Amino acid sequence: MRRRIAGFVVTIQLLLFFGHWLVYETWMYFSMPGTLQEARALQIALGVLSITFVTASMLSFRFNNPPVRWFYTLSATWIGTLNYLVLAASGCWIVYGAELLLKMQPNRPEIGDWLFAAGILVSVFGIANAWWVRVRRVGVKLQGLPEAWRGRTAALVTDLHLGHVRGTGFLRRVIKLIRNQKPDIVFIAGDLYDGGKADAGALVAPWNAFSAPFGTYFVTGNHEGFTNPRKYIEAVKGAGIRALENELVDVDGLQILGVNYSDSRTAEQLQGILDRAGVDPSRASVMLLHVPHGMAITENHGVSLQLSGHTHGGQMFPFTWFTRRVFGGYTYGLSRFGEMQVFTSCGAGTWGPPMRVGTTPEIVLIRFE
């Protein structure tokens, strides 16, 4: 396991070295800085920046104090910016090559200035966009829904990623937004925490100030599994939230099933959990499962609605493309799998760079019809 982790870290660091090298070489070629000292300063700055994110990530799993939180947040923001500077650098060479092919006279400083400025502006937009959490409303019709639940609403919130970047201030804003919608029940479908070193109880404490009429229900995501998920489960229980650990509960006639991510990574595990849960297919049911997978098993057991997160919708372009290739039509939004409906939220928080480009952070208000 340690060798795999070390290999992953080395791979990421090599990619970061390459990205910084590409930005440096492209800027030097297109901007043509005036002095050797300026070029040297840029080289040193990018060299230092190239190792900050891996360093900050490693520190975030060992320490939780203001300097580490600030260091991690700034380094993560820089990595998001680097993404768009790499795209800008690639764009410079594409535009330059196209102009040469068309027998034009490329203006290298102009190409560089415009595209690198665009990369910075997109990054600034991504930071602001990630800060503004929206409310999305969707209606679902479920067979066998108790009459008492018709017209009631559920708030779905996923992927808050509380930790070094998003803390209690962010959670209070999200809770205020949920409270203003007056939902009857709240579902938290995993990755409430980011998974680094943190005071789990203190981070989730603002939930104590809010309660929905039919309760708040939580299942773990993959980030709770970065360390011992037990501490997160106990923390949410202490905040008045019901943690569903591979169990089915009846809430005023509606079946609600929660499955922990770590216990459902294989088809055999998920099959066993659903076999033991005993879902009644003649009655409406809602299942919380962090990752939108296992739909064939879930639908076969008669679940009416699966609620998931995890994908972030890709969070940032161009990863929005890659994520859709992995999860297809279940990357984001309401879809169907046979007789079952599936809703995947792109989440309220962020992982890594505190940016969103091509997606919007959200809580989802589901109206049962």
CATH number at residue 272: 3.60.21.10
- Considering 130, 146, 165, which residue would you say is the last residue of a domain? 130
Q: What is the pTM of this model?
A: 0.94
Q: What is the mean pLDDT of the chain?
A: 95
- Domain of 294, in residue numbers: 134-368
Instruction: Give Cα 289 to chain centroid, integer Å.
Output: 15
Q: Residue 131: what residue type?
A: W
24-61, pLDDT tens digit by residue? Answer: 999 999 986 667 888 899 999 999 999 999 999 999 99
Q: What is the per-residue pLDDT for 120?
A: 98
110-130, pLDDT tens digit by residue? Answer: 999 999 999 999 999 999 999
Looking at the structure of the chain, the number of domains it has is 2
302-356, pLDDT tens digit by residue? Answer: 999 999 999 999 999 999 999 999 999 999 999 999 999 999 999 999 999 999 9
- Considering 95, 130, 165, which residue would you say is the last residue of a domain? 130
Q: What is the per-residue pLDDT for 1?
A: 63
| Shared-domain flag, residues 44 and 60 | yes
Q: What is the per-residue pLDDT for 36?
A: 83
Rounded to 10 deg, the angle between the 52-60 and 66-101 helix axes is 150
- Considering 130, 149, 177, which residue would you say is the last residue of a domain? 130
SS3 352: coil
| Shared-domain flag, residues 247 and 360 | yes
Q: Other C-beta atoms within 10 Å of 354: how many?
A: 19
Q: What is the per-residue pLDDT for 73?
A: 97
Query: Distance between CA 60 and CA 83 in Å, rounded?
Result: 21
Phi then psi for residue 335, to 5 deg, are: -145, 180
Query: Distance between CA 293 and CA 316 in Å, rounded?
Result: 22
